[in-house]
Structure 1
């Protein structure tokens, strides 16, 4: 199984919703944690249906800021124990020999109040010990080399984070992918990159899932990148692609023609079977048509995403962000 965490910076943005769906389809996580949802429960329910998850736990936004949500599938035995504006604390396979703890965390964005989030993490640590994974956007770095650009991070600010990590017995999981998980680009061509999102685990969790991997993914709709934790090093399986009708197909007049031709084709089975075979044939023909008509569009989008990631690496070296703003 795998778990995904992402500070999406608002699910009201349609582009963010579409990118989330794309990430879920590609990586197939069993658990998804989203921070800064900036929306209400009605929108979160719509998101749940669009990504095909069975359950959700919501921490409401405060005014127009914050908001957390945890989605999970029936395939995982997850029990939410507690939640707060800084976290959603859950147990996997509760009361079994495979029991472990999953805390989805969101650090206080206001530096003057960040100690409040660390105090909450300390309180969570006071509970009975279980193998523990804590991941999300902590809004803080551990070392100066986790930041590029801008002013140096105050030592005491980082030290407070390091102290709570030590008190909880956490180790910082190594990762694959971009070094920095958050970025901000300014009009004066300067940028700041920081590693604010991470996965922390206790030694007992690491011994239980020693082959696990953390991946920093790419995205374009948020200033944070998603992080994916694949337990025991298991890469999400490649499943047969399900047919999904895409709204953009309706912009091409050929879509209606493909459906009409496929539906009017003859079938030698009974009425019920005939309808099912027509639906199946429509899906097959639309799939073939989509590859020819829109396939190059998807390839171009993927090419542009890779090019953007390359330009960002160049900006980190040159200090000029004009091609990534």
Structure 2
């Protein structure tokens, strides 16, 4: 349950659907039990391990119509509807070559009418990642965009990262004994890391942005077998 000042309480459920088809009905039963437990605004998001329609599946084998029907029936019984998305449609890839590859929209956000009435300006975005078979589901419940996070994972893979952190933290020889001193050290370290990152990664980041932009455009295009090999090459480049 989420309770914010001056707003009604609402419920968020983060899901991982049953991966075994023969047991997936147990997951739908669980969602229906959660639905019966409490009224009010409700959003569910995550990997449901199932598609809603045939156009959410790309592969050489057809998806089970019966399994998708169980998913649709569960959402209808719970009063949940798909919140849509911005970005690529298919959120999971098997990452196989050519005809062996499979892509499915497994990840999504669904909510009831009370939730969409409470958060009228919600937005769901499928965010491309290169470190997982799944895309990230980003949900915004207001109109303000959040600032970009610093590329900490890229920094940590660099040999001199720890040295930069240590040097900037120890630049003030005074022992850190107060909250103000700690705050000053953190601000100084953040500035040092920004300058170091700009000098060390400036051109590399532009190259990465260009590659990710190309990959994004490719994934937004209609799925075709001929593009899968090129897409896989781009994924390996951006890892």
Q: What TM-score, normalized by structure 1, do the two folds share?
A: 0.59
Which one of 279, 294, 297 corresponds to residue 201 of structure 2? 294
Q: What is the number of equivalent residue pairs in this alignment?
A: 223
Which one of 142, 155, 159 corresponds to residue 250 of structure 1? 159
Structure 1 segments unaligned to the other structure (5+ residues): 1-90, 265-269
Question: Contact 1:105–1:137 at 8 Å: present in 2 too?
Answer: yes
Partner of 1:323: 230
Q: CA distance change for structure 1 residues 102 and 289 in 2, over 3 Å: closer, same or farther?
A: closer
Shift of 1:309: 3.2
Q: List per-residue Cα deviations over 1:137-170 (Å, max 9, x = no partner).
A: 1001111111122222122111100110000001
CA distance in 2, matches of 1:95, 1:243: 33
Shift of 1:211: 1.1
Q: CA RMSD in A?
A: 3.6
Shift of 1:126: 1.2
Q: CA distance change for structure 1 residues 292 and 183 in 2, over 3 Å: closer, same or farther?
A: same
Q: CA distance change for structure 1 residues 297 and 124 in 2, over 3 Å: closer, same or farther?
A: same
Q: CA distance change for structure 1 residues 271 and 281 in 2, over 3 Å: closer, same or farther?
A: same
CA distance in 2, matches of 1:200, 1:279: 39
Which one of 305, 309, 325 corresponds to residue 216 of structure 2? 309
CA distance in 1, matches of 2:187, 2:2: 38
Q: CA distance change for structure 1 residues 130 and 279 in 2, over 3 Å: closer, same or farther?
A: closer
Question: Contact 2:98–2:225 at 8 Å: present in 1 too?
Answer: no
Q: List per-residue Cα deviations over 1:170-225 (Å, max 9, x = no partner).
A: 11102111011111233354422111111111011111111111011010011110
Question: Contact 2:57–2:104 at 8 Å: present in 1 too?
Answer: yes
CA distance in 1, matches of 2:26, 2:15: 13
Shift of 1:293: 2.1
CA distance in 2, matches of 1:218, 1:193: 13
Question: Contact 2:51–2:106 at 8 Å: present in 1 too?
Answer: yes
Partner of 1:219: 129
Shift of 1:109: 0.4
Q: CA distance change for structure 1 residues 167 and 293 in 2, over 3 Å: closer, same or farther?
A: same
CA distance in 1, matches of 2:204, 2:88: 25
Q: CA distance change for structure 1 residues 235 and 191 in 2, over 3 Å: closer, same or farther?
A: farther
1:238 equivalent in alignment to 2:150 = no
SS for the counterpart of 2:229 is: coil
Question: Contact 1:189–1:319 at 8 Å: present in 2 too?
Answer: no
Q: CA distance change for structure 1 residues 141 and 93 in 2, over 3 Å: closer, same or farther?
A: same
Question: Contact 2:59–2:99 at 8 Å: present in 1 too?
Answer: no
CA distance in 1, matches of 2:192, 2:5: 49
CA distance in 1, matches of 2:76, 2:156: 49
Q: Whose strand fraction is larger, Structure 1's or Structure 2's?
A: 1
CA distance in 2, matches of 1:229, 1:200: 11
Q: List per-residue Cα deviations over 1:221-261 (Å, max 9, x = no partner).
A: 11110101111x32333389799994345348xx77xx59x
Q: Whose helix fraction is larger, Structure 1's or Structure 2's?
A: 2
Q: What TM-score, normalized by structure 2, do the two folds share?
A: 0.78
